[in-house]
């Protein structure tokens, strides 16, 4: 059964810093999507002169993207989306996708996605190149490498394996030394 109650699904910084009131959080995944460091960040983890890289998701039928789903009180849903729309502007738009929980229950959730048509989209690159760019970027929200390390930590905390994130993390850590 798919319920239509107000949920927000986070696969990036919303995993470790939701910063909005929610009544429940649950581990879940979106089927047929892959997390990639393909979105440029000029407002959070980089600057217009030296964009950082943050995650977005791309459709990939072989993959599932694990993250955290947050159940919002219906009366707070509108204001929560307003806050997030402001905080997460940088090329993302909101889509509604089905999220599957560990017990196979499903809900529809709002998900921020940066698609290739947004001006900050950087696209594919080798993990080492991605990590080198990340290692030298910082923005108003802090160093870009901290973003990678926090994302990897949040994924490990819920027992998730994301080879792309962990490979970029390994490169980033090696470049810190």
Contact residue for ligand BEZ among 43, 63, 88, 120 (CB under 6 A):
88
Rounded CA gap, 166 and 176, in Å?
Answer: 15
Distance in Å, CB of 11 to ligand BEZ, minimum: 4
Minimal CA–CA distance to 142: which of 56, 52, 57, 68?
Answer: 52
Q: Of residues 33, 37, 112, 171, which one binds ligand BEZ by CB under 6 A?
A: 112
43 sits near ligand BEZ (criterion: CB under 6 A): no
- 88 catalytically annotated: yes
The residues near 63 (Cβ < 8 Å, ≥ 6 apart) are 32, 33, 34
Nearer to ligand BEZ, 14 or 122 (CB): 14
63 is an interface residue for ligand BEZ by CB under 6 A:
no
d(CA 97, CA 116): 18
Binding to ligand BEZ by residue 11, rule CB under 6 A? yes
Q: Does 165 participate in binding ligand BEZ (rule CB under 6 A)?
A: no
User: According to the binding rule CB under 6 A, does residue 38 interact with ligand BEZ?
Assistant: no
The answer to whether residue 10 forms part of the interface with ligand BEZ (CB under 6 A) is: yes
What DSSP line would sit under 76-124, residue for residue? GHHHHHHHHHHHTTTT-EEEEEEEEETTS-EEEEEEEE--TTSTTB---
Q: How many CA atoms lie within 13 A of 111 on its CB side?
A: 30
Question: Does 37 sit near ligand BEZ (CB under 6 A)?
Answer: no
The sign of the CA dihedral 62, 159, 26, 58 is: negative
Cβ proximity to ligand BEZ: between 161 and 177 the closer is 161
Smallest distance, Å, CB 174 to ligand BEZ?
A: 25
Phi and psi dihedrals of 154, rounded to 5?
-65, -35
How many amino acids of this chain bind ligand BEZ (CB under 6 A)? Answer: 9
Residues within the interface to ligand BEZ (CB under 6 A): 10-15, 88, 92, 112
Which residues carry out catalysis? 88
């Amino acid at each position: 059964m798919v319920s239509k109650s107000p949920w927000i699904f986070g696969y990036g910084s919303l995993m470790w810093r939701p910063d909005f009131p929610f009544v429940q959080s649950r581990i879940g995944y979106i089927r047929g999507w892959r997390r990639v460091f393909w979105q440029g960040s000029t407002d959070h983890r980089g600057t217009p002169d030296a964009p950082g890289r943050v995650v977005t998701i791309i459709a990939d039928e072989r993959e599932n993207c694990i993250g955290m789903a947050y159940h919002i009180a219906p009366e707070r849903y509108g204001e929560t989306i307003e806050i997030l729309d402001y905080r997460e502007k940088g090329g993302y738009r909101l889509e509604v996708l089905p999220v599957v929980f560990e017990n196979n229950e499903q809900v529809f959730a709002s998900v921020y996605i940066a698609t290739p048509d947004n001006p900050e989209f950087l696209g594919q690159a080798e993990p080492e190149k991605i990590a080198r760019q990340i290692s030298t970027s910082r923005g108003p929200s802090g160093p870009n490498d901290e973003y990678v390390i926090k994302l990897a930590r949040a994924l490990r905390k819920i027992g998730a394996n994301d080879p792309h994130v962990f490979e970029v993390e390994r490169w980033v850590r090696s470049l810190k030394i």
